[in-house]
Amino acid sequence: MSKIQQAIKERILVLDGAMGTMLQRNNFSEEDFRGERFKDFPHPLKGNNDLLSITQPEAVKQVHRLYFQAGADIVETNTFSGTTIGMADYHMEDLVYELNYQSAKIAREVADEFTDRPRFVAGSIGPTNRTASMSPDVNDPGFRAVTFDDLRIAYKQQVEALIDGGCDVLLVETIFDTLNAKAALFAIEEVKEERNLDIPVMVSGTITDASGRTLSGQTVEAFLISIAHIPLLSIGFNCALGADQLKPYLKRLAHNTTLNISAHPNAGLPNAFGQYDQTPTEMQALIKDYLQDNLVNIIGGCCGTTPEHIKAIAEVAKEFKPRQILETI
């Protein structure tokens, strides 16, 4: 049994908050994103947050450090867009292995600074900006911008680098299309078999609106059934909704699974300017409801959340025991 599998039996684990929200505070310029190494790169690079693990590593380290200081047990690597598919927007497909390796290495180094209790690094595996289940062309419903094999190959490269860099767990997150997630999970299983290792895997989908479905149309129960064949450390939801809007879907998930459940909601819904106004105290009260209702084993924050939010969540998480899992549903 891995250390994280042991820890999750003992206490509610706290996941970090938003990486992008924190990096944006630096107001990095195009030159900052480029650094010395990419100063003559022929394409714009501003906005490529994953690249900052190479060009501004101390800034990324500081984000991890602040989340651990706030009480997080797990931080996510700065690799949400770290596939050849995601990096194609910046013409940086060739850098994918290095980006993921360096991001994992940075997070591992910061985790090892904290010796009071085990701290963990989750390799963040985002959904890519393409969907395998639906056509992007309304006039050609059969067209697909990406194939399952395209995704599998891209994810496999990312997974190998994240493991090489020192991740304790892999987090397939913000899943809007379960077919994309299945490609990631298939790639993970391939790597595990080839390397004869057993790294824990977390899966986190996203409910896109009040319909209670993922973007590709699945209900909570359908999403769960679609990936139930894979051995998982946890299943849960993140992004798109705030903690109050997400709660009913977590309840449905808890009612239907014996897996550990994770949640990292946004700090409420964005305002007219795309900003998140929910305070740490407001979010803490909503998360307390999750804990009182025995809904989660891993809790953290997504868009708009900061170390202040995670500190408030960690404080209330200490008061509760992890979700008790019934052996039969």
Render pLDDT for 87-122 as a digit per residue (tens, 0 to 9). Answer: 999 999 999 999 999 999 999 999 999 999 999 999
pLDDT confidence bin for 140, thresholds 50/70/90: confident
Q: What is the DSSP string of 134-155?
A: S-S-TT-TT--SS-HHHHHHHH
Domain boundaries, the chain: 3-318
Ligand-binding annotation for 167, yes or no, is no
Given this model, what pLDDT does residue 244 score?
A: 94
Four-point Cα dihedral 108, 114, 117, 123, nearest 10: -20
Rounded distance, CA 192 to CA 55, Å?
31
pLDDT confidence bin for 274, thresholds 50/70/90: confident
Domain 3-318 falls under CATH 3.40.980.10: no
Helices (H), the chain: 3-10, 19-24, 30-34, 52-55, 57-70, 84-87, 96-111, 148-165, 178-195, 220-226, 243-256, 280-292, 307-317
Render pLDDT for 44-74 as a digit per residue (tens, 0 to 9). Answer: 999 999 999 999 999 999 999 999 999 999 9
Residue 64: beta bridge partners?
none
Mean pLDDT of the chain: 94
Q: What mean pLDDT comes out for the span 279-285?
A: 97
Q: Check whether 326 has a pLDDT greater than 70.
A: no
